[in-house]
A = this chain, B = another copy of it.
Amino acid sequence: MTTKMAINAKDIFRNQHRLIRFLEQSNRLCSNQSLKAAQAAQLQQKSSADFEITASLDAQYTSAPEPIKHDKNLGHQFRASQISVRLAAPEQLQPKPDNDEELGFGRLFTDHMLKIYYHKSLGGWQRPEITPLENLVMHPAAKVLHYAVELFEGMKAYRGVDGKIRIFRPDMNMNRMNLAAQRSGLPTFEAKEFVQCLSRLLSIDSEWVPHTDTASLYIRPTLIGIDPTLGVASSDSALLYTILSPVGSYFKTGSSGAVSLLADPSYVRAWPGGVGNRKMGSNYAPTINVQKEAAAKGLQQVLWLYGEDHQLTEVGTMNIFMFYVNDQGEQELVTPPLSGLILPGITRDSILRMTRQWGKFKVSEATITMPMVCELLNQGRLLELFGAGTACVVSPVNRISYLGQDLYIPTMEQEKPVHELIRETLTDIQYGRVDHPWSVVID
């Protein structure tokens, strides 16, 4: 208890300047002036070296999400109110890690898990269950093991400076998960009910949410097809489950804190007419060996290219952003558009909304090609390149190996780097250092 209070007190102290600024700004923005006036005010402050955050953002999507229509033969939905809970016995409880620095990513798991079965033959979704973390038992013909009938989400629970646990924009994850379910011939579900089930799981394992702002509890909702039949067809039985893992930082970075990338156009992650915009397991298996190849060359991640003009699509498992000086001499933040080739990242969406509201520089969704990157580097106009995703928030890039060239990217040399402003603003929201509608407190 003492430790926890000490950490919270330390956090509050460390962040009080931001809290004060936020409160001042919230007052200004939430007062009676119109949004336009607020934007005008922001534009005036454009030259201010510091960044701004605001609670007036709505939680809309950059591109409107396709609405989820449940299949008419889906059967009944599950209800969070019907959840059954079987707690781990005291002797089953695992020790929590002492040192958040050594957590790594997804190696340790909490004491409990959530399971919700779907059986068409039993009328649809079954009653949600929280159980001790335990092995799954499945028929060796289960479709997930043969045809990759599987999809997942990545979310995080953060321990706020007020001790409360928050999750970030869960509606976005639920929407994306349902879209992936439809694309995989798997059953869809009611997003709100599932978030309530997740909240219940999180409150049971709440002591696993690290008491620090350098770690968090990774949430892995997973949906798999478990029909024990070998036909390549939709699965009439499925399991929606969730495990939790306390995590530190996702990547090992170089000593600089930045990652180096292999950009090899002979490997392509996704293509038009495929499923590159859905978080399906099938998008990941083909990347593993390419990642191995990058590692063998001393590079940390893969920069995925597409097309004859070598368009940048994703980096590792992240969306990519470039901050540069455009042809008009303006600073511009650009990320590839949601063309179907890239995952509609929630961090990506949040960065776009946030930086557009800042009004400090131009923000656009447009194609970036490797020849553009090379030219901008030659002209000294490429300022920063970084990945963005739930696991790492932002991940600066300092090197790309491309067609035998070793491109040095000056991301870490900027005096007030944009990726750092973005990281601080997002983590301020996630760790509750500022109050924001994107952060949902778990009761």
Contacts and interface: CB of A to CB of B under 8 A. Distances in A.
Total copies of the chain: 2
Interface stretch (A81-89, A178-186, A319-327, A331-339): A178-186
Given A105-B230, A222-B145, A285 B282 contact: yes
Interface string A99-122: 000001111010001000000000
Q: Which of A140, A149, A229, A241 has the most CB atoms of chain B within a 10 A radius of its CB? A: A140
Contacts of A379: none
Contacts of A288: 147, 149, 184-185, 232-234
Given A183-B289, A231-B105, A268-B273, A150 B145 contact: yes
Given A147-B281, A233-B291, A141 B106 contact: yes
Interface residues of A, number: 64
A140 B136 contact: yes
Contacts of A289: 182-185, 234
Interface of A: 104-107, 109, 113, 133-142, 144-150, 152, 182-185, 218, 220, 222, 224, 229-234, 241, 243, 245, 265-268, 271-275, 280-289, 291-292, 316-317
Nearest to A287: B232
Given A288-B184, A289-B182, A141 B268 contact: no
Contacts of A230: 105-107, 218, 220, 245
Most buried by B among A113, A231, A268: A231
For A135, A241, A283, A288, the residue with the greatest tally of chain B CB atoms inside 10 Å of its CB is A288
22 contacts: A106-B141, A107-B231, A134-B140, A135-B137, A136-B139, A136-B142, A137-B137, A141-B220, A147-B285, A148-B148, A148-B282, A148-B284, A182-B289, A232-B291, A233-B288, A268-B271, A268-B274, A271-B274, A275-B286, A281-B282, A282-B284, A282-B285
